[in-house]
Amino acid sequence: MLTLALTGDVMLGRYVNELLKNITPAEMWNDLLPHLAQADLRIVNLECALTGHRQPWERTEKMFHFRADPEAVRVLQAARIDACVLANNHILDFEERGLLDTLDALEAANICHAGAGADAAEAAIPAMLEVHGAPGYRVALLSFTDNEPVFAAEGGHPGTNYLEVSLQPETLARIAGCIGQARAQGADLVVFSNHWGANFIERPAAEFRSFARRVIDLGADIYYGHSAHICQGIEIHQGKPILYDTGNFIDDYAVHPLLRNDRSCLFKVMFEQGSLRRIELLPVSLGVGYVALARGKEFEAICARMEMLCAEFGTVLARHADRLVYEA
């Protein structure tokens, strides 16, 4: 059984960066560390630049700029993160220099990345992840975003792997080409990551659902969405999981009193011989700069919400002690 652990946004800047002066990186992951360790691969959306460059992006209007010191990569190492997706709306918050510094920091820490690069070609390259304990088995990680078109890599210009959410033939052909390239490089499993849509949307719009289904039809094994800051439901399409949004995981964000972006899940997706077998959702509570397993009323609230949202897609979750489980 191959287990992938997927999380939503990991933002290590601002107060989280300051907190690292007083606590160990492992403390930020709290009691999630054993659960992450049980997975074969761990993938997160890194929602900040790792850089000492202090000049924020000012070429277009932007409200928030997220930056952590390069040493904050130790937080990712503490959880044995295997790969970060970088196609998002914050990786260039501190200009191209901030992006390039992030690439350097991740590579020095032996953490793979996808979705941004020194030019358009590099930004589109899939990360090929070797599965520990299964020699020769490879997982391809593709990373895209429809956020911040001004961050898009063009020609020899650093930036993100930008992709509009569209069913136009040229868009679908590009997706099919990327998935085909990953298969040609020996990928046994393809993860399609997308930082898409607006913040605080509880349910994906019809056009987003159609797009995600087409991505699966074109050969992806998992659709891994994030950007809304809150978890959305899971749909099973053609036997493959669509995680419309995986919410937040580590940050210092203000909490929406109704949508509660301080409640999320660790998503563990399990495959056997290329087929989906099981999905486990571990409900988590977020504090400023840390994540922990949810308990009591927090656990009940997260479970009830995810059961409802998944049921709307026909996905039935069962409660098993500290988690929700989907059995294929």
Q: Looking at the predicted structure, is the pLDDT value of residue 80 above 80?
A: yes
CA distances from 279 to 41, 253, 275, 293 (A): 14, 27, 12, 17
| Cβ neighbours around 147 below 10 Å, total | 18
Q: Is 196 helix (H, G, I), strand (E, B) or coil?
A: coil
Percent of the chain with pLDDT over 90: 98
| Cβ neighbours around 51 below 10 Å, total | 24
Give the pLDDT of residue 155.
86
- Dihedral, CA atoms, 10, 14, 15, 20, nearest 10 degrees? 70
Q: Write phi, then psi, for 217 (nearest 5 degrees).
A: -60, -30
Give the pLDDT of residue 9.
98
Give the pLDDT of residue 134.
76
The CATH number of the domain where 20 resides is what? 3.60.21.10
pLDDT tens digits, one per residue of 159-218:
999 999 999 999 999 999 999 999 999 999 999 999 999 999 999 999 999 999 999 999
Measured between alpha carbons, how far is 1 from 270 in angstroms, rounded to an integer? 6
Provide mean pLDDT across the span 316-328. 97
Work out the mean pLDDT of the chain and round it to a whole number: 97
Q: Looking at the predicted structure, is the pLDDT value of residue 102 above 80?
A: yes
**pLDDT class of 284 with cuts at 50, 70, 90:** very high
Q: Looking at the predicted structure, is the pLDDT value of residue 261 above 80?
A: yes
Sign of CA dihedral 154, 223, 88, 114: negative
- In the chain, the number of structural domains is 1
Q: Looking at the predicted structure, is the pLDDT value of residue 11 above 90?
A: yes
| Cβ neighbours around 277 below 10 Å, total | 15
Measured between alpha carbons, how far is 42 from 238 in angstroms, rounded to an integer? 24
Give the pLDDT of residue 293.
98
Give the pLDDT of residue 328.
96
Provide mean pLDDT across the span 274-303. 98
Q: Is 253 helix (H, G, I), strand (E, B) or coil?
A: coil
pLDDT tens digits, one per residue of 118-165:
999 999 999 999 998 777 899 999 999 999 999 999 988 999 999 999
The single-letter DSSP state of residue 231 is B
Q: Which domain holds residue 207?
A: 2-327
